[in-house]
Structures are given as C-alpha cells and as structure tokens.
C-alpha cells in the first residue's frame, strides 16, 4: 500500500473528472491503494457546484463504472475521502488561502495536482500554487493533452509550468500508455525471443495503428474545431503507440531509458512537407449518416456552422528511417463517427518465401498479430493451419486469442487509475517527457502547414462508415487494405 497522499483535481466538476478520475480513484480505494487518510480535493467553480459535488460524484460512479463494480457501501466509504472546495483558479485571494490551509493540515505528504483544465490557465494555476507555498519536493503536477496547437505554443506552456515545477515533477499524461495491453506490447517484444527476432523489416510487411470513435463532438465543439484530429489524436496517442512498436529495447525498463528510445523513433520519422503531404496523408470530415440504425448529424450540423475545414478523420503513411524499419510503411488512422469504437495495432507479416503445398490446398494468408486496446483488451495471432473438418489437405487461417477478461477473471483495466498511482509513486515511465512533445510537434507542424497552404476541403465520409474512400486508396496504392474491427479478413 502507498503512503497517504492528497490529490487536488483542478477542474474537479468537469467531464474528465466525473467520467474518468473519480471512478479511477474509487477503484484504487476498492483495491486498498487509497490509504485511510488520503484526500481527493475537487476544485469547483462556485458554491453551487461545491454543495452538489458529493451527490454528483456518487451519480458518476453509478453511471461510469462497469456493471457490478458499484457497491453502495464502498461508494459511501470512498466519498468520505472526497473534499469539494470552491476555487477561482485565476484569482488569488481568500479561496486560495482556504485551499492552502486545507493542504497544510498534512504538510509532509505527497501532493498530486491534476490539471484537468484548459492549457491556457496552466500557468496561472501553477503560479498560485507557488505563491501560496504549495509546491515542494514532494509535489507533482499532472497535465492533460493537448499541450498547445503547435511546437511554439506547446513550448510556451511547458516553459510556464517549468517556472514552478522541475521536469522530474511534471507528468504529461496519455491515458493510452496506461492500458495494460500497451504494457503487454513491451512484454511481448522484449521477453519473447520468437517475436523480438521477427520484429523488423526482414519479417514485417507493414504496420497499422488505428483509433476509431463512434462519438461526435460531445460538447467539445469549440476546442475541437480549433484543433482537429491531427492535433487531438495523432500528435500524442498515435505517435506514442508508434514509438512503442518501433523503439529499440531499452537498457532497463525505467523512464529515462524508455524515453531515450522513443525519442530516437521520433527523430527517425521521415519528414513530410509540400507534395509529400499530398501523397501520404488523407483528411476527412463526417456528414450525416446511419450509426446502429440511428441517423446521426454531420460535423457542421453539430458545430452549428455553415463551413469548416477542420478534419475529423486522418489517415497517413509514415516511415521510420532506421536500420530496423527501412521501407516498412506505418499506416496511422483515426476518426470520429466511425463504424466501430476500437483501438488496435496490427503487425502484418510478410508472405512465406516458398510455397510447399499445391494451390489446391488453399490460399496462404500471411501471419498477423493484432493488439487490441479497446473496447476489450486482447492479443490475437493469426497463422496458417490444417482444416480439421476434412481429411483432405486444406489450409486455413487460425487465430490464437488471448482475451484478458477471459484469461484473468479479476482483470479490470483502468489506465487512469494506474497513471494516477504512478504519479503518486513518482514513477514517470508511462508519462511523456518534454523532449517527446517537442519532437512530435516538429513532425506534425509541417503537415498542418501544408494543409493550410493547400486550402482544400477535407474529403467527406458518412457517419457510421470507416472513413473516406481516399483512405482505402492510400493503402491500395501499396497493395494493402485496412484491418477493420469486426470484419472478416
């Protein structure tokens, strides 16, 4: 069990807090990882939010926990750890003084400041923490993406935070890195010789990394129309997953070694500028369509605007120019209002070099490794085998499936729970270093610049589909197809 700690959630009454953070801390409590005197201090914008907070927190647990997780007795005991406070983050004064007095009841304990607030007020929040002497060697600050809209704004935000916190105390969160299957990806690679020996351009044909969402704007219209899918998803989530697939083995599984290898991958990404962007990227925007038998509105309808060039879908072809991955394409794809909600990594192996069976035995499908992060977490390996339903020599693909919820009966994955507890324990190995942010933006910015100078409208796609046809054509140019969840392959 960890020692008692305080976690302060700035933006405590926001969607992220109720949907993710409060359930994650409840799970920590149920697993005896929230020591008895630990406190969850939730900052509310006004007295009305504060007075209703505990009721709303309980309702959030009932709504967002998985079936069977909510237990009235446990929820009531957990809620006793929650302290809602009224606080105007941007104004110093009585409310900040009250916060300081509350925190200073336990001056020596670990404090985690979770900034579930817009990046524009990260600086003033950290400034007030320092002003009221609430930052010490046992303090850490957790910041949510997006960090800026380009390299310059990201650097400015990082500079503001760095005035008050050392880099070792800054935890930039990407919740995909906290998923157990992502950790299993590294275990799969670096502890199994059968995979590590076949993890390079000699054996792998191409790699696909997809994150698809079925939802639309979900109340994020203002932010999303300024950001778009490239900034919101590719710059962080997809590039981080690419790094974990492509990185060399770290010397040790510690933060500095892992970070060094991820930075090498980002440095090796082949730059895209001008005509390269046209050849290797596709951007799309959804229009009204059918999702699970229900008509859903298009992006412009949700946005309530007549025109917008913001992309809700991105597909791109990337190359990692080093000895391991030379000429192996990495296809990245993400989009809103797509056919299914799914996040997965597909490692597509090459065909066997020599066919020993006659063609009457059937077509040979190359081996494929699928690492699924959501909605369920699983690892699937497809290989060729004999069809046991016939005495004839017939070959067909067979899939070995490791579904964690089936294999591990007590398995309940919660990336936020893991990452919060890692921040408490001062373990930064699953968080993003400032150097990674800088290198990611250095690769993304020229793509954004090329799109803006081109001024072409995004390709349109129906809600409830897998994106625009141009995305399929991007892979078809190389003789490949997207691996779509739930479809026969």
* Integer Cα distance of 151 and 154 in angstroms: 5
Phi/psi of residue 103, each to 5°?
-65, -35
Angle between helices 239-246 and 434-454 (to 10 degrees): 120
What count of residues does the chain have?
489
418-to-16, 69, 214, 421, 422 alpha-carbon distances in Å: 16, 17, 25, 5, 6
Q: What is the DSSP string of 306-325?
A: S-----SEEEEEEEB-STTT
254-to-167, 301, 363, 395, 423 alpha-carbon distances in Å: 16, 47, 44, 44, 14
Segment (H or E) for 220 = none
* Integer Cα distance of 336 and 356 in angstroms: 44
Handedness of CA 177, 227, 340, 482 (dihedral sign): negative
Q: Report DSSP state, residue 251.
A: S
Alpha carbons within 13 angstroms on the beta-carbon side of residue 427 total: 12
Is the CB of residue 104 less than 8 Å from the CB of residue 41?
no
Query: Which two tokens mark 76?
Result: 């009531």
Residue 489 annotated as catalytic = no
* Integer Cα distance of 292 and 215 in angstroms: 12
Burial class (CB in 10 A: 0-12, 13-18, 19+), 396: middle
* Integer Cα distance of 448 and 74 in angstroms: 48
* Integer Cα distance of 375 and 274 in angstroms: 37
Give the residue from 229, 252, 418 showing the smallest Cα distance to 338.
229
Q: Choosing from 81, 175, 206, 237, which is the catalytic residue?
A: 237
Give the residue from 378, 370, 380 showing the smallest Cα distance to 403.
378
For strands 110-115 and 139-143, give the pairing: parallel
* Integer Cα distance of 59 and 55 in angstroms: 6
Q: Which residues are catalytic?
A: 237
């Amino acid at each position: 069990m960890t020692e008692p700690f305080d976690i302060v959630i700035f933006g405590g009454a926001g969607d992220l807090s109720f949907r993710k953070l409060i359930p994650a801390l409840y799970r920590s409590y149920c697993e005896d990882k929230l020591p008895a005197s630990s406190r969850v201090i939730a900052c509310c914008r006004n007295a009305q939010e504060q007075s209703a907070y505990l009721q709303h927190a309980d309702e959030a647990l009932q709504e967002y926990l998985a079936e069977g997780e909510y237990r009235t007795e446990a929820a009531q005991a957990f809620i006793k750890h929650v302290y809602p406070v009224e606080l105007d983050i941007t104004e110093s004064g009585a409310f900040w003084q009250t916060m300081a007095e509350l925190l200073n009841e336990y001056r020596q304990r670990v404090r985690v400041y979770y900034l579930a607030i817009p990046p524009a007020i990260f600086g003033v929040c950290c400034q007030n923490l320092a002003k009221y002497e609430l930052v010490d060697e046992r303090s850490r600050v957790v910041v949510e993406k997006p960090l800026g809209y380009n390299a310059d704004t990201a650097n400015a935000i990082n500079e503001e935070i760095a005035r008050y916190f050392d880099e070792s105390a800054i935890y930039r969160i990407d919740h995909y890195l906290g998923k157990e299957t992502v950790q299993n990806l590294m275990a799969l690679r670096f502890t199994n010789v059968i995979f590590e020996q076949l993890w390079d351009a000699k054996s792998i044909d191409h790699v696909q990394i997809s994150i698809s969402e079925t939802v639309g704007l979900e109340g994020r219209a203002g932010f999303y129309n300024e950001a778009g899918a490239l900034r919101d998803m590719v710059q962080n989530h997809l590039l981080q997953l690419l790094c974990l697939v492509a990185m060399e083995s770290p010397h040790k599984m510690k933060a500095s070694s892992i970070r060094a290898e991820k930075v090498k991958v980002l440095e090796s990404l082949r730059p895209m500028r001008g005509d390269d962007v046209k050849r290797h990227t596709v951007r799309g925007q959804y229009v009204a369509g059918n999702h699970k038998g229900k008509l859903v509105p298009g992006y412009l309808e949700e946005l309530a605007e007549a025109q917008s060039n913001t992309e809700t879908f991105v597909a791109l072809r990337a190359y990692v120019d080093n000895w391991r991955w030379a000429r192996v394409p990495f296809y990245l794809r993400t989009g809103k209002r797509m056919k299914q909600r799914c996040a997965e990594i597909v490692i597509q192996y090459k065909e066997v070099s020599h066919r020993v069976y006659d063609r009457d035995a059937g077509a040979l499908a190359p081996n494929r490794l699928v690492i699924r992060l959501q909605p369920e977490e699983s690892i699937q390996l497809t290989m060729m085998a004999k069809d046991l339903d016939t005495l004839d020599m017939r070959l067909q693909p067979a899939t070995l499936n490791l579904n964690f919820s089936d294999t591990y009966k007590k398995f309940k994955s919660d990336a936020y729970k893991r990452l919060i507890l890692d921040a408490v324990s001062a373990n930064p190995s699953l968080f993003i270093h400032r150097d990674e942010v800088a290198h990611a933006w250095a690769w993304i910015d020229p793509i954004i610049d090329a799109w803006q100078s081109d001024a072409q409208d995004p390709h349109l796609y129906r809600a409830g589909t897998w994106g625009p046809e141009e995305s399929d054509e991007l892979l078809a140019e190389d003789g490949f197809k997207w691996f779509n969840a739930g479809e026969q392959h």
